Amino acid sequence: MPTSHWLDVPGARLYFEVQGSGPVLMFIGHPMDSTGFATIARVFADDHTVVTYDPRGFGHSTIEDRNQDADPNIIADDVRRVLEAVGGGPAKVFGSSGGAVTGLALVAHHPTLVQTLIAHEPPVALLLPDAEQGRTAMQDIYDTFRADGAVQAWQKFLAFTGLAIPTQGEGAAPPSPPSQEMIATSNRFFGQSLFPVTLYQPDIAALNAAPTLVQVGGGIASRGQFAQRTAAALAERLGTPLIEFPGGHVGFLTDTAEFVPVLRRALND
């Protein structure tokens, strides 16, 4: 069972969990918190000290200024502090989506802290040939959020990124009203995270100069979708093959059994 921990950092109080023993492996998401990695974390806890955490302003982690932008450099410094609190580095890191962007910033600024980074579908729109289309789409999503709220913004976001929209089966119960936590997460995601994460410019020179092994992954079921395309663009810039993982954008959650051996190979490369 994971143990729960709290860490005070400038402007926030971070919640993180630790389980298992062995080399340190940290799973990071954004806006996904530690709960999204619960299943795969248990698997890797057999032979790793697994760390998961809630980014500032999400899950159990608090933030003093909820209007503070989710600058990947600030979030990466939070991850640095968590890893230093756990000890046992340099660590292996798996970052998903916005968490992959955090991982890229972490390696760029603290390369000796990370042995291996697996960046799974980082949504770095500005690396695409049609970067301006991505910038325009994010502006439209943000404007929709401000004008019409999170529900309409999610509809546009899912349509643009190609992520699956859950459907109701015949006879299924109607969806429950969103919880206050879900509302808060959506508001911070669109209000303070959308632009800083999707318009982040990875420091390619710093990543290539780092002693860290940086590998980039994309989902097999995500081919052609926004985040898979950005992952492929990043891999090309870094001069490394794109690792294809089972499932889609959250394959580690939906296709865990197939995902794990691919991730193990990548981490042990």
pTM of the model: 0.94
- For residue 241, give the amino acid letter: P
Question: How confident is the model at residue 145, as a pLDDT?
Answer: 96
- DSSP output for 140-182: HHHHHHHHH-HHHHHHHHHHHHTPPPP-PPTTPPPPPPPPHHH
Both tokens of residue 266? 């990548």
For residue 150, is pLDDT > 90?
Answer: yes
- Tell me what the mean pLDDT of segment 102-127 comes to: 97
> Cis omega (within 30 of 0) on the bond before 241?
no
For residue 191, is pLDDT > 90?
Answer: yes
What confidence category does residue 1 fall into, taking pLDDT thresholds of 50, 70 and 90?
Answer: confident
Percentage of the chain with pLDDT > 90?
89
**Distance (Å, whole) CA 232 – CA 87:** 32
Q: What is the mean pLDDT of the chain?
A: 93
For tokens 């993982």, name the residue: 245
Question: How confident is the model at residue 93, as a pLDDT?
Answer: 98
For residue 169, is pLDDT > 50?
Answer: no
pLDDT digit string, tens, across residues 213-246: 999 999 999 999 999 999 999 999 999 999 999 9
For residue 189, is pLDDT > 80?
Answer: yes
pLDDT digit string, tens, across residues 20-52: 999 999 999 999 999 999 999 999 999 999 999
CATH T-level fold of 3-127+201-267: Rossmann fold (3.40.50)
197: exposed, middle or buried (C-beta count within 10 Å: 0-12, 13-18, 19+)?
Answer: buried
Question: How confident is the model at residue 30, as a pLDDT?
Answer: 96
Handedness of CA 126, 128, 131, 135 (dihedral sign): negative
Question: How confident is the model at residue 3, as a pLDDT?
Answer: 97
For residue 135, is pLDDT > 80?
Answer: yes
Question: How confident is the model at residue 178, as a pLDDT?
Answer: 62
pLDDT digit string, tens, across residues 59-112: 999 999 999 999 999 999 999 999 999 997 799 999 999 999 999 999 999 999
Radius of gyration of the chain (CA): 18
Kindly report the CA angle at 215 between 255 and 160, in degrees rounded to 5?
60
Both tokens of residue 188? 């911070």
